[in-house]
Amino acid sequence: MKRKIYLSNTSLSKAQEIFWNAALKKEPGVEEIAVFEAAGRVTAEPVFARLSSPHYHAAAMDGIAVKSSDTFGATATTPLRLRLEENAFYIDTGGSLPPGCDAVIMIEDVFFPDKERPDVIEIREPAAPWQHVRSIGEDIVATEMILPSYHRLRPFDLGALLNGGIFKLNVLRKPRVSLIPTGSELIEPPGEPQPGQIIESNSHVFSAAVREWGAQPKRFPIIRDDSDRLEEVLLKAAEESDLILISAGSSAGRKDFTVKVLDKLGEVLIHGVAIKPGKPVILAMIGSIPVVGLPGYPVAAYVALELFVKPFLYRWQKQTPPKRTVLKSYSSRRVLSSLKEEEYLRLKMGKVEDKFVATPLPRGSGVSMSLVRADGVTTISQNKEGIEPGEEIQVELWRARVEIENTIVCLGSHDLSLDILSDHLKKRYDYTLSSAHLGSMGGIMALKRGETHLAGIHLLDEESGLYNIPYLKRYLPEMELVLVHLAQRELGLMLEKKNRGKITSIEDLAGGNIVFVNRQKGAGTRLYLDFMLKRKGISPADITGYEREEYNHLSVAAAVKAGSADAGLGIRAAAEALGLEFVPLARESYELAVPVSFYNSPKCGALLEVIGSDAFRKAVERMGGYDLTRSGEIVWRSHSDNS
Amino acid sequence: MKRKIYLSNTSLSKAQEIFWNAALKKEPGVEEIAVFEAAGRVTAEPVFARLSSPHYHAAAMDGIAVKSSDTFGATATTPLRLRLEENAFYIDTGGSLPPGCDAVIMIEDVFFPDKERPDVIEIREPAAPWQHVRSIGEDIVATEMILPSYHRLRPFDLGALLNGGIFKLNVLRKPRVSLIPTGSELIEPPGEPQPGQIIESNSHVFSAAVREWGAQPKRFPIIRDDSDRLEEVLLKAAEESDLILISAGSSAGRKDFTVKVLDKLGEVLIHGVAIKPGKPVILAMIGSIPVVGLPGYPVAAYVALELFVKPFLYRWQKQTPPKRTVLKSYSSRRVLSSLKEEEYLRLKMGKVEDKFVATPLPRGSGVSMSLVRADGVTTISQNKEGIEPGEEIQVELWRARVEIENTIVCLGSHDLSLDILSDHLKKRYDYTLSSAHLGSMGGIMALKRGETHLAGIHLLDEESGLYNIPYLKRYLPEMELVLVHLAQRELGLMLEKKNRGKITSIEDLAGGNIVFVNRQKGAGTRLYLDFMLKRKGISPADITGYEREEYNHLSVAAAVKAGSADAGLGIRAAAEALGLEFVPLARESYELAVPVSFYNSPKCGALLEVIGSDAFRKAVERMGGYDLTRSGEIVWRSHSDNS
């Protein structure tokens, strides 16, 4: 079976250079459009004014138009009289000066000396030539250049063009981008996918993205794994496009024939770039039309889109690609990175005390939520082995800096109520709650390192049977803290409905017949399990699947739901969300550990207000398994007791 | 005549506060749209996943699906055999794992021990459970929150929604903005305005701007000065809008009845804000619908739009208004500002050596080109009397910082060829040439203060009869400079065609019968005039209009064309552009004085290449009166001669 295609490892800058050189040779097209429709478009040539603005001598004030030389000699003691409609003329702002006039006297400075003679006016100082007059061309002189070539039109540019008598202009045609989704496993949305089927989403992302970058997308229907059909569609697309994007099939697998088809129809410039995610990208030309073969995984596809398609489209339109703000930040975790590629790491950000802290998001190229949740991206260069915790990194921001400054960071245990809290907070304040799931102990360590505003924890102390307080005393003895109760929640075993009655206790997990799915080390739920196993004298080795770790309640529930495990430990709300059977084992306190410095901030004030609101309580309790009677209560303050 | 309406002087922050409080009470509307169309829209509620992604256990690699427990014990020395379609199954990336399988072995690690038996495979290491498998919910777990409320959708958000099985969602309805242009002097574009008539442009600027800010504009036809009609249209607009913008009529003049109409139909919150330009703004409510009356002058209107309408629209959509980058810069000139208002000063920017230099643009609220040319804006607060030359100021950037860094600043004399040069440079390089017109002496002083990259000068030395070099030696003795020839141009008198033959020399200007229009002090053309007057023994007092100053050749030509002057001094190209008679008096050298430090930069290299290009020479010579035979020649270097 011949299925190995060589994937090169060309560096990003080299690949980009090769691509620009080949792809940007052709001059962009030009079209004439009305000025009204031109916002956001790019001038194809300089635009010269046809009319001056003003195109006549215009009064800049409401008043009386005069010939200035008629007014010389007027003073407060020797006022001068003029006659309306003879040598003085009422004029409104914007009005055209009557012939012979060269100045305007403001209406406030005009007096009527004789009540019987409303046509006689008096002035008490002379008018300087051209006073209160907008002379011809003050704004724009006919023939002057209003806009140069290759200028992207902003709203007020349209105003200047209209003022200069320009109603139509030549602009660069929008680059036409053909989007070709490929793969027999894809189904068109809306639609209900069967196992092995995937909803085609990438081309819709590409479509929205290239539109944002000034292009006109055209999406083709999904092409099944059929190289003849792909060939046919590519030839058609090449006739009507300035760029072709092929989604998926760019890798080197059995069904990845895109590169072969491109090689047949044109020239493959690059197959494989040393970036991660995004490595299996194809850069090719069909005649003078550039083609980018994008990976099928959504994150890989998007990274390649940003690195190749976005700059191409800006350059095609003769514009400098916009740069995102770069912010100095500190990584909250260690990240190991391959020396084979440059890695684009998505990050959650927050400003804790005076520094910006960045927490890496899941790195899989299939995790589209890592794009959704990202506040920014950092690049780990090819010759770097990774990032140390606390290391200074440069982050390209995906959200406005002010939004990140308005983010409340909550690292620690996962609870579904945090999502609800985040939503309610955002609805009522300009603040965002950003939670990353490190487990309760992870949250405590993040507090210790000053990487989070607060930590969500639920830690049962083996000796005292108390929740949370003993851990804070033990691990954060120096820190001034407030412990705020968020919720009581039910913890228990999640099972498929069919296993109801078969598993009723922790003891039933042992023995090898039941496949379990566990939580990660440091999670409060994991600590509870270990505590119970110890108490009951059960060895972890007796539990099949003990070593399989998931990072939150919903993922455990999903594993059970999918039948890849028979049971997992988690909260009732997660079980109910996925329609699983739930065997309650304990009620635990999920609480927020908040340093006093943050507790006294307006941000925390807003958060506590939302926690105490009826709307939030009701929304959480609706999920099932939650008791919010005491939510918002201060459970404990450090340094205020000596117990 | 009762025409005084009180214009208040409310501070900006107070006016904004009053407006937000009244205008943002109403909740925004909601509509359901397809995910495909949702980019840029704002979620009205949290969006929860309907499906997990993946929604089945998916192979993450091309290879063989197996049950991991079947593979335990395999090593390089004790390989293990499996049978295809029995306990090993071909699978492609993305494929669904067959029932019972929980791992994938990469195809590279699969061996075929027996050529006769293609169904028998061999493996040489065990598969770990879940290796190379994307398990259900790895990306998204059904029921999890994909997006919170009030989230503006980005392209990749659409991907995550589709992956989570969401095809439609509720978003905030776009705010509907009615635009009502008013004024009997307005004509609809396209159209040829007569004196006293103005092309209506503001509403088109508003339309493009509010669209950029997420709104749906609707423009009404122009309303003549007719308060009944305005009333009628306002009532109609109030029924179908979330915001109404009235263009012009917001001031306190004879025809400014907008405020009276609004007072009748609803409540006027504010009339007059302490900002410049933009003071005569009206903020009002008709029932629950906010109305902004914007000034008629384009700059005033745009400033008010940015300060009131933009933040309103963002807040209506529950978004934080974006902030522009703020850059520390240094003013190149003195600016005096009133203590009555906060002033928004438009600026041209450039990076000279290591600092950003800002040059104020014309401040008139009717100069729409000051918006077009602006690189940024600085605010002079109400309690500040102005800005000193060299003073540090904070500039809000209107262009990307990188574009400003790529700008070549040329302060000094005005020449039409600079516009052509700017256009050709932009077409061929990522550089922009920004020229502000200070006159030749202004350019030399700007070089001295380090505020410009180069200066365009044409200065005739009275004693030697030489151009430029004597001035550079006299005023910039310490500076290492290169003087580059740009063009020889014809200088002469510009007249209306009908005055042909009546004015043939400088002498003809004296005596009082001829109205002259002059250039500003420090302009090379002004110096030439003064030189000639002195030589011929004519006193400036003998020339009518000597004191009327215009800032560039085209403005002088425009004044002559409009009949407000009989003659002016300028270059042939300006006369030809406006169809004037031209009486040549001299040929002068227009040259560029370039500090050596800048001369050696890549930016200057690009500029010189364009200056030397045939395309540029031909384009300039086409204007008439130019000789570019020597363009690009180095005329002189300081410190290289001792003459």
Are B167 and A190 inside 8 Å of each other by CB?
A: yes
Residues of A in contact with B250 (CB under 8 A): none
- Return the half-sphere exposure (C-beta side, CA atoms, 13 A cut-off) of residue B276: 17
Are A299 and A188 within one domain? yes
| Amino acid letter for position B292 | V
Question: Average pLDDT of A75-82?
Answer: 94
Q: How far apart are CA A34 and CA B526, in angstroms?
A: 41
In a mutational test of the B interface, the residue from A156, A309, A432, A556 whose CB has the highest number of chain B CBs within 10 Å is: A156
Interface size between A and B, measured as CB pairs under 8 A: 322
* Residue B480, pLDDT above cutoff 70: yes
- A533-572 tens-digit pLDDT: 999 999 999 999 998 888 888 889 988 988 889 999 999 9
Percent of chain A with pLDDT over 90: 79
| Amino acid letter for position B351 | K
In contact, A525 and A491? CB cutoff 8 Å: yes
| Amino acid letter for position B578 | L
Q: Which two tokens stand for residue B28?
A: 């925004």
Nearest to A292 by CA among A177, A172, A201: A177
CATH number for the domain that contains residue B459: 3.40.190.290
Q: How far apart are CA B492 and CA B497, in angstroms?
A: 14
Q: Which residue from A52, A158, A167 is facing B558, i.e. has the nearest CB?
A: A52
Residues of B in contact with A162 (CB under 8 A): 189, 199-201, 204
At residue A464, the pLDDT reads 86
Q: How far apart are CA A241 and CA A290, in angstroms?
A: 9
In contact, B300 and B280? CB cutoff 8 Å: yes
Residues of B in contact with A57 (CB under 8 A): 562, 564
- A460-498 tens-digit pLDDT: 888 888 899 999 999 999 999 999 999 999 999 999 988
Residue A7 maps to a domain: no
At residue A5, the pLDDT reads 52
Residue B1 maps to a domain: no
Residue B569 maps to a domain: yes
Q: How far apart are CA B365 and CA B303, in angstroms?
A: 9
Q: How far apart are CA A410 and CA A377, in angstroms?
A: 20
Give the predicted TM-score (pTM) of the model.
0.92
Which residues are CB-neighbours of A306 under 8 A, at least 6 positions away?
none
Q: Band of the pLDDT at B641, cuts 50, 70, 90?
A: low
Of the residues B266, B298, B316, the one at which a domain ends: B316
Q: How far apart are CA A375 and CA A372, in angstroms?
A: 9
Chain B: residue whose CA lies nearest to A433: B148
Residue B5 maps to a domain: no
Are B429 and B574 within one domain? yes
SS3 A202: helix
Q: How far apart are CA A329 and CA A399, in angstroms?
A: 14
Cα pseudo-dihedral A633, A639, A640, A643, rounded to 10:
100
The conformation of residue A96, written as its DSSP 8-state character, comes to B
Are B457 and B576 within one domain? yes
Residue A23 maps to a domain: yes
- A163-180 tens-digit pLDDT: 999 999 999 999 999 999
**Beta-bridge partners for A358:** A331, A349
Residue A419 maps to a domain: no
In contact, A472 and A596? CB cutoff 8 Å: no
- A2-30 tens-digit pLDDT: 344 568 899 999 999 999 999 999 999 99
At residue B229, the pLDDT reads 95
Q: Which residue from B40, B62, B251 is facing A253, i.e. has the nearest CB?
A: B62
Element (H, E) at B34: strand B30-34
Residues of A in contact with B60 (CB under 8 A): 366
Are B469 and B595 within one domain? yes
In contact, B211 and A36? CB cutoff 8 Å: no
- B21-68 tens-digit pLDDT: 999 999 999 999 999 999 999 999 999 999 999 999 899 989 999 999
φ, ψ for residue A595, nearest 5 deg: -60, 145
Q: How far apart are CA B180 and CA B202, in angstroms?
A: 10
Q: Which residue from A130, A320, A562 is facing B430, i.e. has the nearest CB?
A: A320
Q: Band of the pLDDT at A642, cuts 50, 70, 90?
A: very low
At residue B257, the pLDDT reads 87
In a mutational test of the B interface, the residue from A89, A162, A314 whose CB has the highest number of chain B CBs within 10 Å is: A162
- A268-297 tens-digit pLDDT: 999 999 999 999 999 999 999 999 999 999
Q: How far apart are CA B470 and CA B489, in angstroms?
A: 19
In contact, A3 and A292? CB cutoff 8 Å: no
Are A298 and B159 inside 8 Å of each other by CB?
A: yes
Q: Which two tokens stand for residue B95?
A: 């494929």
The conformation of residue A340, written as its DSSP 8-state character, comes to S
Question: Average pLDDT of A334-358?
Answer: 93
Q: Which two tokens stand for residue B595?
A: 């500090």
Which residues are CB-neighbours of B77 under 8 A, at least 6 positions away?
none
At residue B465, the pLDDT reads 82
Which residues are CB-neighbours of A154 under 8 A, at least 6 positions away?
A39, B208
Strand residue runs (E) in B398-535: 407-412, 432-437, 454-457, 481-495, 516-519
CATH number for the domain that contains residue A340: 2.40.340.10
CATH number for the domain that contains residue B265: 3.40.980.10
Percent of chain B with pLDDT over 70: 98
* Residue B1, pLDDT above cutoff 60: no
Which residue has tokens 């042909």? B500
In contact, A135 and A129? CB cutoff 8 Å: no
Nearest to A29 by CA among A135, A151, A161, A174: A174
Are A145 and B56 inside 8 Å of each other by CB?
A: no
SS3 B163: helix
| Amino acid letter for position A59 | A
Are B363 and B394 within one domain? yes
Of the residues A115, A134, A153, the one at which a domain ends: A134
Are B96 and A195 inside 8 Å of each other by CB?
A: yes
At residue A48, the pLDDT reads 95
Are A311 and A379 within one domain? no
SS3 A540: helix
In contact, B291 and B244? CB cutoff 8 Å: yes
- Give the total residue count for chain B: 643
For residue A247, give Cα distances in angstroms to A201, A244, A346, B97: 10, 10, 22, 23
Which residue has tokens 């092309």? B199
- Give the total residue count for chain A: 643
Are A472 and A550 within one domain? yes
Chain A nearest-CA distance from B408, in A, is 15
At residue B642, the pLDDT reads 47
In contact, A49 and A223? CB cutoff 8 Å: no
Which residue has tokens 């307006």? A602
Considering only CA atoms, give the Rg of chain B.
35
Q: How far apart are CA A427 and CA A409, in angstroms?
A: 17
Are B204 and A427 inside 8 Å of each other by CB?
A: no
In contact, A147 and A171? CB cutoff 8 Å: no
Are A554 and B204 inside 8 Å of each other by CB?
A: no
Are B559 and A135 inside 8 Å of each other by CB?
A: yes
Q: How far apart are CA A288 and CA B611, in angstroms?
A: 31
- For A49, the domain range is 30-54+138-172
CATH number for the domain that contains residue A75: 2.170.190.11
In contact, B376 and B395? CB cutoff 8 Å: yes
Q: A174-184 burial, b if ≥16 CB within 10 A, otherwise e?
A: bbbbbbbbbbe
Q: Which residue from A189, A302, A426 is facing B156, i.e. has the nearest CB?
A: A302
Nearest to A551 by CA among A421, A442, A430: A442
Q: How many domains does chain A have?
A: 5
Strand residue runs (E) in B272-363: 275-276, 282-286, 289-294, 326-331, 335-336, 342-352, 355-360
- The angle at the Cα of A90, spanning A87 to A96, to the nearest 5 degrees, equals 90
In a mutational test of the A interface, the residue from B199, B320, B419 whose CB has the highest number of chain A CBs within 10 Å is: B199
Residue B196 maps to a domain: yes
Chain B: residue whose CA lies nearest to A302: B156
What is the 3-class SS of A153-185, one letter each residue? CCHHHHHHHHHCCCCEEEEECCCEEEEEEECCC
In contact, A163 and B298? CB cutoff 8 Å: yes
φ, ψ for residue B466, nearest 5 deg: -90, 155
φ, ψ for residue A625, nearest 5 deg: 80, 5
Chain B nearest-CA distance from A475, in A, is 32
Residues of A in contact with B373 (CB under 8 A): none
SS3 A134: strand
Q: B304-326 burial, b if ≥16 CB within 10 A, otherwise e?
A: bbbbbbbbbbbbbbbbeeeeeee
Where is average pLDDT lowest: A258-262, B46-50, B307-311, B552-556?
B552-556
Which residue has tokens 């009327």? B548
Are B390 and B539 within one domain? no
Question: Average pLDDT of B240-258?
Answer: 86
Considering only CA atoms, give the Rg of chain A.
35
Residue A410 maps to a domain: no
Chain B nearest-CA distance from A102, in A, is 8
Q: How far apart are CA A438 and CA B86, in angstroms?
A: 41
* Residue B3, pLDDT above cutoff 60: no
CATH number for the domain that contains residue B42: 3.90.105.10
Are B430 and A302 inside 8 Å of each other by CB?
A: no
Are B120 and B66 within one domain? yes
Are B400 and A320 inside 8 Å of each other by CB?
A: yes
SS3 A515: strand
In contact, B67 and B100? CB cutoff 8 Å: yes
Q: A49-58 burial, b if ≥16 CB within 10 A, otherwise e?
A: bbbbbbbbbb
For chain B, the average pLDDT equals 93
Of the residues A147, A172, A197, the one at which a domain ends: A172
| Amino acid letter for position A353 | E
Beta strands A120-123 and A80-83: pairing type?
antiparallel
Chain B nearest-CA distance from A571, in A, is 14
**Beta-bridge partners for A223:** A182
In contact, A620 and A420? CB cutoff 8 Å: yes
At residue A641, the pLDDT reads 52
Are B543 and B630 within one domain? yes
At residue B100, the pLDDT reads 86
* Residue B512, pLDDT above cutoff 50: yes
Are A283 and A370 within one domain? no
Are B159 and A201 inside 8 Å of each other by CB?
A: yes
Which residues are CB-neighbours of B78 under 8 A, at least 6 positions away?
none
| Amino acid letter for position B597 | S
Are B50 and B68 within one domain? no
Chain B nearest-CA distance from A403, in A, is 8
Percent of chain B with pLDDT over 90: 79
